[in-house]
Structure 1
């Protein structure tokens, strides 16, 4: 899966709800306001991947204050691969691979600010990207929930850096929006949802080179192999920390858990 195909589209029956970001093999991140059409007791959605594959999903968490929601892909298969994530800085080029219909344009532009504190419509102050778009549409509704990818569509070094949430109003024309958008950072999503434990976080670090699952890689292997595998995870966690996706506390917690699993393997699972 490339960064260009990391987006999904969310449906309830034939009703399109909005876009989403495949952030982990079984989890889709989206804007909470995309789910307003769902009744509180009806949390089932269809997750349509970029290749057209349709999967069953269930809303498992809504953070309405931050306008973020998490959807779990049901079933044994899930989505096999996920994109590389990172952070953006002012001056970076960005584009949005998701568009609400084939008749709509793809968004692209420049990152104005890669880590601004933003008071979103839900009432929470979140870490956000402030983005300028080259396309002056006047109304950007329908693009919410789509991923923000750093780099140009033609470039090779692309990383997913955020999730589109809101648009700034045009101060001169109350009935139009300006070409300034705000997107939640990946780090903000990690802090908001406790579903991203060590297993899911490791999947996101570098899925192209990662083993299937951290438990699988340590189980049934020799002590030397288990230690070498743990060291490779430490290197990947450090790389993610350098990209500033994780804060120091998350990095420390991940390393502790990897070390604990390795020790448990060496001691035959007898540790507390």
Structure 2
């Protein structure tokens, strides 16, 4: 299995819902409209690119930005490789590794630009405008799929740039879509969910409030951990690491701290 094979198909009661992809080994990112009205905590089946299926639950929804997060069941974490995230280059090549069926074409094209985009749901997000080489007239089946940057060096590995969420109507024929697609950037998508937020992770490592009252000095025990989590975000903001890697490192740091608190080892 190669690094790009991180896309998934989402199913419910035997019906295919749409595409998505592994943001890390715990969460799948998809377009909310692919879930067709399912609610938080609803269960979905996640079909990996090799045909294996794992269970998941819808844990977060952002209706305004048309994004959703599906958490893979704790006893079914996947070990598939996930490529690094990156920022798109205007005029750079992109491709979509996900396609609705094996008979559909893979999308590809040029990155027209990065700008603030007003979503149908009302949110203004950082988005990529993508020109597709393929004139299909209907790109809806590709929603939720990842957008990859194509390396200039063919030996280089692709990077995640965004997630497909919208298609632009053709001005001459509104019943068809133009070959211009909209994708939320990876950085935008991750900023929408508190699972990747420093504040959320700090709350995880801090003791409950009742314990804080009994142990006034408890928060000081986690000062170094808080600094480390904030440092990861600072590195991501400065472009030294990509947002997905920052989230992975923060989650790993929290896991090790919890292991230490439970007597499982040192940080």
Deviation of 1:99 (Å): 0.2
Q: In the alignment, what sits opposite 1:218?
A: none
Q: For 1:164 and 1:239, how far apart are their aligned partners in 2?
A: 22
List per-residue Cα deviations over 1:170-210 (Å, max 9, x = no partner).
00111111000000001111210001246x99xxxxxxxxx
Q: In the alignment, what sits opposite 2:15?
A: 15
Where in structure 2 are the equivalents of 1:127-166 lying within 5 Å? 127-151=126-150, 155-166=155-166
Q: Deviating runs (4+, > 6 A) in structure 1?
A: 234-237
Paired residues of 2:83 and 2:159 also in contact (CA < 8 A): yes
Tell me the number of residue pairs that the alignment of Structure 1 and Structure 2 aligns.
226
Q: For 2:107 and 2:182, how far apart are their aligned partners in 1?
A: 13
Q: For residues 241 and 22 of structure 1, do their structure 2 counterparts lie closer, same or farther at Cα, with a shift above 3 Å needed?
A: farther
Q: For 2:172 and 2:92, how far apart are their aligned partners in 1?
A: 27
Q: For 1:117 and 1:235, how far apart are their aligned partners in 2?
A: 25
Q: In the alignment, what sits opposite 2:51?
A: 52
Q: For residues 163 and 41 of structure 1, do their structure 2 counterparts lie closer, same or farther at Cα, with a shift above 3 Å needed?
A: closer
Paired residues of 1:23 and 1:83 also in contact (CA < 8 A): no
Where in structure 2 are the equivalents of 1:179-198 lying within 5 Å? 179-197=179-197
Q: For 2:19 and 2:136, how far apart are their aligned partners in 1?
A: 18
Q: For 2:120 and 2:21, how far apart are their aligned partners in 1?
A: 20
List per-residue Cα deviations over 1:211-253 (Å, max 9, x = no partner).
xxxxxxxxxxxxxxxx9xx99xx7997377426755xxxx8xx
Q: For 2:158 and 2:40, how far apart are their aligned partners in 1?
A: 38
Deviation of 1:89 (Å): 1.6
Q: In the alignment, what sits opposite 2:86?
A: 86
Instruction: Give unpaired runs (5+ residues) of structure 2.
Output: 202-223
SS of aligned partner of 1:178: strand
- Normalised to the residue count of structure 1, the TM-score between the two structures is 0.73
Q: In the alignment, what sits opposite 2:76?
A: 77
Structure 1 position 106 matched with structure 2 position 106: yes
Paired residues of 2:86 and 2:160 also in contact (CA < 8 A): yes
- Normalised to the residue count of structure 2, the TM-score between the two structures is 0.74
Paired residues of 2:137 and 2:179 also in contact (CA < 8 A): yes
Q: For residues 178 and 3 of structure 1, do their structure 2 counterparts lie closer, same or farther at Cα, with a shift above 3 Å needed?
A: farther
Deviation of 1:42 (Å): 6.7
Instruction: Give unpaired runs (5+ residues) of structure 1.
Output: 202-226
Where in structure 2 are the equivalents of 1:159-238 lying within 5 Å? 159-197=159-197, 238=235
Q: Structure 1 stretch 130-139 or stretch 42-51: which is displaced more? A: 42-51
Deviation of 1:82 (Å): 2.3
Please provide the CA RMSD for this pair.
3.4
Q: For residues 241 and 41 of structure 1, do their structure 2 counterparts lie closer, same or farther at Cα, with a shift above 3 Å needed?
A: closer
Q: In the alignment, what sits opposite 1:204?
A: none
Deviation of 1:83 (Å): 2.1
Q: For 2:183 and 2:72, how far apart are their aligned partners in 1?
A: 23
SS of aligned partner of 1:85: coil
Q: For 1:125 and 1:239, how far apart are their aligned partners in 2?
A: 21
SS of aligned partner of 2:195: coil
Deviation of 1:19 (Å): 0.5
